[in-house]
Chains A and B, each alone.
Chain A
Amino acid sequence: MTTLAPVAASRKVPVTILTGFLGAGKTTLLNRILRERHGERIAVIENEFGEQGIDNDLIIDSGAEQIVEMNNGCICCTVRGDLVRILGELRQRRESKPEAFDRVIIETTGLADPGPVAQTFFIDEDISAYYAIDAILTVVDAKHASEQLDAFHEAQEQVGFADRILLSKTDLVSSDELTDLRARLVRINARAPMKPVHFGETPIADIINVGGFSLDSILEIEPGFLDEEDHHEHNDDVKSFAFTSSRPLDAARLQAFFRDTIAEHARDLMRYKGVVEFAGFDHSVVFQGVHMMMASDAGRIWSEGEVRESRLVFIGRNLPKDALLARLERCVAS
């Protein structure tokens, strides 16, 4: 299908939001990315807050990257405005010198909630016209994740927001511990694939062009997640749940469902995504959202004989899963 929007979107500067808890290895990973010869010129916005900074000497030596540091404390509380300002400055620099950089990576503090950082790209018109989020990546320290998830809701939120989870320090834990951790992470976020990173080493392809906010990207749900039962040792506040239906949904009812759900739970509804069949549509309809920001588009045409399964995934904090699932059940077209 010919559309105008994707052309414009592809011209925007892709932005990666790199989150992860204190000491998880974000900076190691970032230094690794910057050192790798991948032909990408990357502008880094770093929000230093009690963490070891980027090795500036190293970066300057390599000559190819631009570093912009932000030292104004925590992104989520005070410097959303600064993020706007700094992205504006980067834009000016790139407009006078297009080869300055091809993409931006924002490294957030260990305690940052990725939500407001992500929302900056949707709410600010100037920013959203020029930049597009590629993905939120969350580095999870396999050794300490379990304690961190218990102790800090920010850690759960970072996992919940992720389009991809990068597991660091997997060599420091037993395979049983790793299996448990993976299972816990899947319950928090059923749609983010997990990739191990070893001392910050991971193929650049795991990091860029992830398309986490792209409506075209496939809605992946971790295998086994749908069949899992709800009894677990850890009862995290942030959880995901999925709804699937092999019968078409009613567009107006689903729209009303989202209107109500967002009105009631926008703050706790972190990410949601769906590929659905609406009664009377030849195409699938795809949508996704962050809190109360939402996008939808026509997906591909269902092919002949294809099982038209609607799939929706919700990730949020203390969401009334059973009540929402019951309401979704009523969105099935009669």
Chain B
Amino acid sequence: MDSNSSSRLLCKSLPVRDDPNVAFAEPWEAKAFAIVVKLADAGRFTWQEWVECFSKEVAAATAVEAAGGVPKTYYEQWLDAAERMMTEKGLTSKEQIAARRFALGVTGVAHVLK
């Protein structure tokens, strides 16, 4: 990956979390984050498109919170936005995501064949 272009992307819209010492609470969060940056970098979607897509998730979560509900965590929002973005761009499909989740739900992530 071209480090210049990705760092430019990162600067543009790197999420700021409450605790600056904890960037990622779990490995999957880092993975989800990296996948989005990498795909944007590869030109699968523009960063602007991503920001718009992600904003909708954030807005939805904020609304849930405002209504007194328990909103999705930051990276759950990120992941759901990423799935939507990739589906919209034809990189994967809802069916494929659902189908892949089948094995994941059976064995857990450590035992899914890649």
A interface residue numbers (CB < 8 A to B): 1-5, 122, 128-129, 213, 251, 254-255, 258-259, 262, 281-283, 285-290, 292-299
Contacts and interface: CB of A to CB of B under 8 A. Distances in A.
B83 to A, nearest CB: 13
A128 B103 contact: no
A294 B106 contact: yes
A296 B105 CA distance: 10
Given A2-B90, A295-B113, A287 B103 contact: yes
Contacts, number: 79
Contact of A259 (B90, B95, B106, B112): B106
Nearest to A122: B113
B100 interface: yes
B57 to A, nearest CB: 22
Contact of A293 (B92, B93, B104, B107): B107
B100 A297 contact: yes
A298 B105 contact: no
B107 A255 contact: no
Interface string B98-112: 111111111100011
Contact of A296 (B90, B91, B92, B103): B103
A150 B113 CA distance: 33
A262 B95 contact: no
B96 A293 contact: no
A296 B114 contact: no
A299 B98 CA distance: 11
A100 B11 CA distance: 42
A294 B99 CA distance: 12
7 contacts: A1-B93, A4-B92, A259-B107, A289-B113, A290-B113, A295-B113, A296-B100
Contacts of B96: 1, 3, 283, 297-298
Given A289-B113, A293-B113, A294-B112, A262 B106 contact: yes
